Amino acid sequence: MSSRLAKALIFSLLAQAGPVAAENYLDWAKVGAEARERGLPVALLITGPDCGYCERLRQEFLEAPATRGTLEQGAVTQEMSREEGGKVTDFDGERIRTRLFLARYGIFATPTLLLLSPEGEMLAPALVGFNGAQKYGDLVAKRMNRAHANLASGERPSQSMLADSE
């Protein structure tokens, strides 16, 4: 009887763990709640597999001693692969397909840095590509300033303003 119970318990646990382990998602509602609580924008860095520019960004900016932590100082930062499958929990708590989540922001290349409100709205133009740590750092600073100003004022830029590049 006890071995039957043990087998049933193991089978039950494996059955429950299977789908959970297979799902690969991020809970943007929790990320948004943290950003709201801290009064910061969300910095979402979209990367891709076999993306040489993503690797350069990581080495020359994200992990370099002079610029390490730049994003984290001014935003709640998350990285997500453009090739992520499955579903994510959206900023409003609803589960949606990852491709639909990314399509909302018009992701067409990697790396792409988005600065979002805690509700998932764009606060500044997307920063697409990587052309070296100095230039990238300058562009991040400009966009971060714009995102903080828009977050503080409660204003959300129009699509035409978001299309402007600096």
CATH value of 24-163 in 3.50.50.60, 3.40.30.10, 3.40.50.150, 2.40.50.40: 3.40.30.10
For residue 18, the model assigns a pLDDT of 36
Segment 150-157 long-range contacts (CB within 8 Å, at least 24 positions apart): 150/117, 150/123, 150/124, 151/39, 151/40, 151/41, 151/117, 151/123, 156/117, 156/121, 156/122, 156/123, 157/122, 157/123, 157/124
Of all residues in the chain, the percent with pLDDT exceeding 70 is 80
Half-sphere exposure of 5 toward its Cβ, with a 13 Å CA cutoff? 2
- Mean pLDDT for 26-55 is 95
Contacts of 62 (CB under 8 A, 6+ apart): 68, 71
Q: Is the peptide bond before 125 cis (omega within 30 degrees of 0)?
A: no
Q: What is the pLDDT of residues 98-131, one digit of tens each?
A: 999 999 999 999 999 999 999 999 999 999 999 9
DSSP notation for 77-100: EEEEETT--SEEE-TTS-EEEHHH
Give the start-to-end residue ranges of the domains of the chain: 24-163
pLDDT at 148 over 90: yes
For residue 163, the model assigns a pLDDT of 60
pTM of the model: 0.81
Among 9-18, 53-62, 100-109, 125-134, whose mean pLDDT is lowest?
9-18
pLDDT at 95 over 50: yes
pLDDT at 83 over 80: yes
Both tokens of residue 80?
A: 């997500």
